[in-house]
Amino acid sequence: MLKYVVSEDLELVLKQLVTVNGFSLPSEDTIADLRSGLKWQLQKIFGINAVEVITAAHIRDGIREMVEQSDLAPVSLDRLYMQCERHIDMTRSVDTTLHDCGEIERYDSAPLTAQVQALTTQGIREITLVDDVIFSGNGIMRLIELCAAHSIAVRAVIAGIVIGEGEQKITARGIPVHATYRYPAVIDEICERDFYAGLPLSGRHVVAQSHNTGAPYFFPFGKPCEWASVPPEHADAFSQFCLRQNVTLWRAIEEASHATVKCGDLPRLPFGAPCNSNPFVSYLESLIR
């Protein structure tokens, strides 16, 4: 049976929200309730046995163990599970019509070429690339080629989760892939944060915006069918569910922080949302039918 895989990272992203924006964490019970609600909703769509949730601890510990066993300098594409000396900040992007623009540098990061050139300047010639999830492998392959153009050899790739499609592309280049979880094929693999609006790193980066803007994987911000494999007949109901989940989360953040979160306070503005002083929860509620 093909699995619908969800990698947990909500708590990790929320900790970034606390560190960077000064908000307070919601309770563990709130996070647990959100997770159980999301899992049940996905099970109703894809089947009880199809949905597989992988904890952040399992992903983090697996990555760290593999990195410790490597003799090569790790360069991480991930800032949630793996903190190391060297990073390359790359993300999937879309334009303002939500059409795919491929992998580019994250908001406020140097261009990818400059990031790789910085490794060359440091005298780095051989590396291991580290990421949380490898699906299509397109982003990793682009980096492998970019590194090669700057005389850096990628000798291995480490991932928490790898899907067969991406692994085959990488190993075809003679580069081994080490992973904690392997799936030959899946219905989809989604990071938990992509079902939440306004959080750091959530959704796909929207280019050409004056603010850090993301398109999470539900209406009206993103594309639940194309990006999260939600069948069209379930897309509206699933998106309304996600909006309610988001209201619950942000209310809990407000209660814990003893403050109202305004749209303009968000570290990553949901695509289409106003960047103003209006309460974000009120804006979300206005989208619920």
pLDDT at 26: 96
Cα 98 from Cα 89, distance rounded (Å): 21
Choose the final residue of a domain: 151, 181, 211.
181
* Together in a domain, 220 and 287: yes
* Together in a domain, 77 and 48: no
Provide the greatest CA pair distance for the chain: 57
* Together in a domain, 209 and 274: yes
Cα 129 from Cα 115, distance rounded (Å): 14
pLDDT tens per residue, range 8-66 = 999 999 998 888 788 999 999 999 999 999 999 999 999 999 999 999 999 999 999 99
Q: Each residue of 152-166: b (16+ CB within 10 Å) or e?
A: bebbbbbbbbbbebb
pLDDT > 90? residue 223: yes
For residue 25, give the amino acid letter: L
Across the chain, what does the average pLDDT equal? 97
Helix axes 10-21, 28-46, angle to 10 degrees: 140
Residue-range definition of the domain harbouring residue 261: 1-54+185-289
Choose the final residue of a domain: 181, 199, 232.
181
* Together in a domain, 96 and 191: no
* Together in a domain, 192 and 165: no
User: Could you tell me the CA-to-CA distances from 124 to 71, 116, 135, 150 in Å, in that order?
Assistant: 13, 10, 27, 10
pLDDT at 281: 99
**How are beta strands 269-270 and 213-215 bridged, if at all?**
parallel
Q: Which residues contact 44 (CB under 8 A, 6 or more apart)?
A: none
pTM: 0.95
pLDDT tens per residue, range 94-126 = 999 999 999 999 999 999 999 999 999 999 999
* Together in a domain, 152 and 246: no
Helix axes 138-149, 164-171, angle to 10 degrees: 20
Percent of the chain predicted with pLDDT > 90:
94
* Together in a domain, 125 and 222: no
**Number of domains observed in the structure of the chain:** 2
* Together in a domain, 170 and 189: no
Residue pair 46/167 in contact by the 8 Å Cβ criterion = no
pLDDT tens per residue, range 173-189 = 999 999 999 999 999 99
Q: What average pLDDT does this structure show over 237-252?
A: 99
* Together in a domain, 140 and 46: no
pLDDT at 19: 80
pLDDT at 18: 85
> Any idea what the CATH number is for the domain that residue 159 is in?
3.40.50.2020
* Together in a domain, 73 and 172: yes
